[in-house]
Amino acid sequence: MSILLLGLSHRTAPVEVREQLAFTPEGAATALMLFQNRYPEMETLLLSTCNRTEILVASQTHDLRPESIIEFIAQARDIPVEHFRRCLYQYTDEQAIRHLFRVTSGLDSMVVGEYQIVSQIKQAYAIASEQGTTGRLLNRLMHHALKTSSRVRTETEIAARKVSVPSVAVDIARDIFQDFGDKQILVVGAGEMAQLVCQHLQAVKARNFVVTSRTLNNARALAEACKGRAVPYDQVEQQLADADIIVTAVRCPKAVLTTERVRAVQKQRQGRPMFILDLAVPRNVEAGVGDLSQVYLYDIDTLGDIVAQNKQARLKEITHCERILDEEIDQFEKWLAEGRSGPMIAQMYSDARQLREAELSSLIASCPDLTARQRDAVSKTVDRVIAKLMHPAVSTVRQHSVCEKAHACAQSEHNHLCSPVNTLTEALHKIILRVGENADRKS
């Protein structure tokens, strides 16, 4: 059994190379079908995301030639091999298994511990299954990879801490507000950062959005996405008193929210807390606002520091994650070992049965005076002798079947069992005589 993984990722290839080798789901399905037509004896899976393209190939009977697979990828994307060869990495067998498990567990992601890769791998596996390009080996491997990912997420803290500014901001807001359903959210600005924060707020059931921007059409677009309402930029003042959460992300040379402005608004709010996220550079909110009672102000630097701390905390979990990977890889390789040793062990038992029949028939024929009861006793005794001879031989094959010397090991044990026929014949003859003597005494 052989496993080969070829690919490139954000660690080895710039985006201009990755985008040339990216496959759409439909393109991946077509490529897998073509690969199967060319190499019907091989199992294949193709993973393509914005950060990586990897092809996983397995065969139970054939050696895998990396160069043929590289050429196939180049043909599938109509790109010369020279354009991406330097960016490729290649793993075989245990290294390929470990890499797959690391990717599936989020340990090789641009953001360590991110969960999106799991759904992408599930989609890649589903496409390969639909095309019929996975078999016994890859099916087992993929199920084991997903099981490993689940263990990593549930048994470690690798994904417990948020590592993006919008997600950290919303986590902090959750420490202040138990429920977002009745909270008014004022969004000043409609750029990418504001959009991301709104998406995270929607994920925690926030519903009441008011969006404003110097470009009203942009505000309307974001408000529509949030199922909120847009107001002109000059109406910020009127919206402040009702706003429980304020997100500012607008380019402006001077502060949008001054200390005096927010102090005046707080008098109208009757002590209700106000949470302000200042995501702009230069800052939209004066630093003094954070000193006001019941006002919680976080700017981009403060949030960035928390993100950095969370990333470090995730990295500390990697050692624990790798221990889980070691355990799961060991389990999978034991399953592989059983698959490798199974045919060898079956042949050893077959040869042992043939040896038993041949020698037992010969010896009983040479002792025609044995009764039926004596022949039955001899047969059972011989079976026990064969079993005792087989046990250490089979155990040795199973223990060594993971390594490349498995076949040689099996052959050695097979020869050890089958070659000393004369010794075994003499032992059987003594057994027959002993059984006969015992039977004579009893009679």
Position 204 pLDDT exceeds 60 = yes
pTM above 0.85, yes or no: no
Q: Where are the alpha helices (DSSP H) in 177-276?
A: 192-203, 216-226, 236-240, 259-269
| Domain's final residue, options 98, 128, 158 | 158
Q: Do 346 and 290 share a structural domain?
A: no
What is the pLDDT, as a whole number, of residue 420? 41
Tell me how crowded residue 261 is: count the other CB atoms within 10 A of its CB: 17
- What one-character DSSP code corresponds to residue 287? G
Q: For residue 331, tell me if it sits in a domain.
A: no
**Secondary structure of residue 53 in the 3-state scheme:** strand
Report which of residues 327 and 417 the model is more confident about: 327
Domain count, the chain: 3
What is the pLDDT, as a whole number, of residue 431? 61
What mean pLDDT value characterizes the chain? 87
Q: For residue 132, tell me if it sits in a domain.
A: yes
Q: Where are the alpha helices (DSSP H) in 60-210?
A: 66-77, 93-104, 116-131, 136-155, 165-176, 192-203
**pLDDT tens, position by position, 127-170:** 999 999 999 999 999 999 999 999 999 999 998 888 889 999 99
- 199: domain CATH number is 3.40.50.720
Q: Do 298 and 220 share a structural domain?
A: yes
What is the pLDDT, as a whole number, of residue 389? 74
- Of the candidates 50, 226, 403, 418, the residue annotated as catalytic is 50
Q: Do 147 and 8 share a structural domain?
A: yes
Q: Do 176 and 259 share a structural domain?
A: yes
Whether 50 is catalytic is yes
Q: Do 169 and 137 share a structural domain?
A: no
Q: Which residue range(s) make up the domain with 151?
A: 2-158
